[in-house]
Structure 1
Amino acid sequence: MQLGIIPSLFLVLSLTLITSLTFANSHASFKELTNLQTLAEESKQQELPIMLMFGAEWCEYCELLNEYVFNPMALSGLYEEHVVLMRHVGIDEPKPLIDWYGNPITKEKWAYQINADLTPTVLFLDGFAREVAPRIVGISEITLYASLIHQNLNIAYRNMGLKKQIPATPEQLEIQSQQTDTLIPNTIK
């Protein structure tokens, strides 16, 4: 009888390991934020807003957003360094990040300081640490979330004084990029 316990225990431990690896890599395509100071310089040089998604491993809504919105955006190749600089901020991760001034700070403490500790929260910032579009807190309708991001990116462009605009949906952005035969031109209309 005791021999039957070992395979059962092995199965439970294996499933636990697989589940934890799945959640740990839930934003694998969506780069983790490590250095705000460097990201701010990239934002200024490339004239692009910064989009930060504050999430946590235990947040099931964050998992949904990563799976259905952010990972597809990251994998498409149409967003990162073309229309936005996208980063994930895992508020439950112990490794500190470098803040705007070059100082280390835990992600949890920084999220609390800027009132982004409710997950998921998405911020749109410029390279000077200013919010340039309305933040998105929580999730109401997953199917419209990417369009809301596009809307806020266009607000960010306008508030940053940039002459850029992206289409209202990811599908339209993909069609436009295929028609122009380039990833994303400097001015998107």
Structure 2
Amino acid sequence: MKLLATALTAILFLAGCDKAANASGYAANSKLKELTNLQELAAEARERNLPIMLTVGAEWCEFCHILREEVLDPMALGGDYDGKVVFMRYLSIDEHQPIPDMNGQPIRKDELARRYKADLTPTVIFIDGQGQKVAANIVGIANIELYTTLIHKHLNQAYEKMGNPLRLDAMPGQ
């Protein structure tokens, strides 16, 4: 009986390790950078007059994985977006280590997401270098094939609100 209990404990432990490895492995393989310091990112956004696009997600969220794999990673990998037309970061609400907020104060990522009304995952938030929302949130995935077009539409709204003359074509690659 003791041998059975030990074997069962080992199996459960290994299953938990495998799940943790898969979760952390996915984020490590993603091309989209994780948000680690909003204060520094905001300063750079102010300097370049570019919006910040925060994608709020979680490891357990299947739709978050789809969005990262099919839309956000290709956008980040191409090098045409991050730091050029927008600052793109992923905001994992699974991580509970505080990061510096807009004012340098420590904040947990799930609290930061709630501050911007991101109650569901995935949610894409658009803010300026002052931390003000400059376009409506995109909540969920209605049509993955048109998601980049939707992001472009929201970025154009952000540029207009920020007084930035930059505009993106509705369809990427045009």
For 1:25-64, list aligned pairs within 5 A: 25-27=25-27, 28-64=30-66
Q: Note the alpha carbon deviations across 1:33-92, whole angstroms, 9 max, x for none.
A: 111111111001111110000000000000000000001100011001111000000011
Q: Name the structure 2 match of 1:24.
A: 24
Residue 170 of structure 1 deviates from its aligned partner by 2.4
Within-5 A mapping of 1:111-130 = 111-130=113-132
Note the 1:141-152 alignment, pairs <5 A.
Answer: 141-152=143-154
Secondary structure at the aligned position of 2:149 is classed as helix
Deviation at 1:13, TM superposition (A): 4.1
Unaligned 5+ segments in structure 1 are 173-189
How far apart in 2 are the matches of 1:13 and 1:144?
Answer: 40
The alpha carbon displacement at 1:20 in A equals 4.0
Which letter does structure 2 place at the counterpart of 1:78?
Answer: D
Cα deviation for residue 25 of structure 1 reads 3.7
Residue 51 of structure 1 aligns to a residue whose secondary structure is: strand
Deviations 1:2-21 (A, max 9, x none): 9xxx9xx88x948962x543
1:116, distance to aligned residue in structure 2 (A): 1.0
Unaligned runs of 5+ in 2: none
- Provide the secondary structure at the position in 1 that maps to 2:26: coil
Partner Cα distance (2:114, 2:155) in 1: 24
User: What is the TM-score of this pair, normalised by structure 1?
Assistant: 0.79
CA contact 1:91–1:117 (8 Å) conserved in 2: no
Alpha-carbon separation, structure 2, partners of 1:55 and 1:159: 26
SS at match of 1:155: helix
Separation in structure 1 between the aligned mates of residue 82 and residue 143 of structure 2, nearest angstrom: 24
- In structure 2, how many angstroms separate the alpha carbons of the residues matched to 1:137 and 1:146? 14
Q: 1:26 touches 1:66 (CA, 8 Å); kept in 2?
A: no
From 109, 112, 116, the equivalent of 1:110 is 112
**TM-score using structure 2 length:** 0.86
Q: Pick from 69, 72, 80: which aligns with 2:71?
A: 69
2:25 and 2:80 mapped to 1: Cα distance? 21
CA gap of 1:15–1:91, structure 2 versus 1, over 3 A, is: closer
Equivalent-residue separation in structure 2 for 1:136 and 1:37 (angstroms): 23
* Cα RMSD after superposing both structures: 2.1
Please state how far the C-alpha of 1:108 moved relative to its aligned partner: 1.2
Native 8 Å contact 2:58 2:92 kept in 1: yes
- Cα deviation, residue 26, structure 1: 3.1
**SS of the counterpart of 1:132?**
strand
